[in-house]
Amino acid sequence: MMEDRNGGSVSVNGATKKSTRGSWTKDQKRQIVAESQEAGASMAEVAQRHGLRVALLSSWRRQWARSGKGVPKAAKFAAVHVGMPSVEGVIEIDLAGGCVRVRGIVDAQMLREVLAAAR
């Protein structure tokens, strides 16, 4: 008879098989979940290394997350740089008394001032 990782064995129809189910302690689960959340860790590799299925590991991760006892994942942020657009262009407005043409970078305030001066 074979023993599973916890010292048990399984016999099905007289044939001895390796147990596919294991009793994991909370500490073991916590350690495996923490290992799966390390940077660069693959859930499939962690699950295979400990002899369990990825679905079970995913279930444990959800359970630990809901309980608030899980190992928090480090937040990852992308660098974002926000700046003013530097698009130059031309705005041309035909008025009854002539044409107003503004070149370069135009913002709303500048356009208001140009139109006020053209009246």
Handedness of CA 93, 95, 99, 100 (dihedral sign): negative
Residue 46 or 5, more confident: 46
Tell me what pLDDT residue 73 has.
57
The number of folded domains in the chain is 2
Residues of the domain holding 97: 89-118
Strands (E), the chain: 10-12, 15-17, 89-95, 98-104
Most confident of the following: 28-32, 75-79, 83-87, 114-118: 28-32
- 62 with 93, same domain: the answer is no
**22 has a pLDDT exceeding 90:** no
Q: What is the pLDDT of residue 55?
A: 93
Is residue 109 located within the same domain as residue 63?
A: no
| CA–CA distance, 36 with 72 (Å, rounded to integer) | 11
Residue 45 domain flag: yes
pTM of the full predicted structure? 0.43
For residues 63 and 93, membership in a common domain is answered with: no
- When pLDDT is averaged across residues 2-13 and rounded to a whole number, the result is 45
Instruction: Output the CA–CA distances (angstroms, integers) from residue 62 to 19, 32, 57, 58, in the order listed.
Output: 25, 13, 9, 6
In angstroms, the first-to-last Cα distance of the chain is 99
Same domain, 26 and 61: yes
pLDDT at residue 19 above 60? no
Residue 70: band (very low, low, confident or very high) from pLDDT cuts 50, 70, 90 = low
Are residues 61 and 19 located together in one domain of the fold?
yes
Residues 6+ apart with CB under 8 A from 53: 47
Q: State residue 112's pLDDT score.
A: 82
Tokens of 8: 């048990």
Same domain as 62, residue 111: no
* 16 part of a folded domain: yes
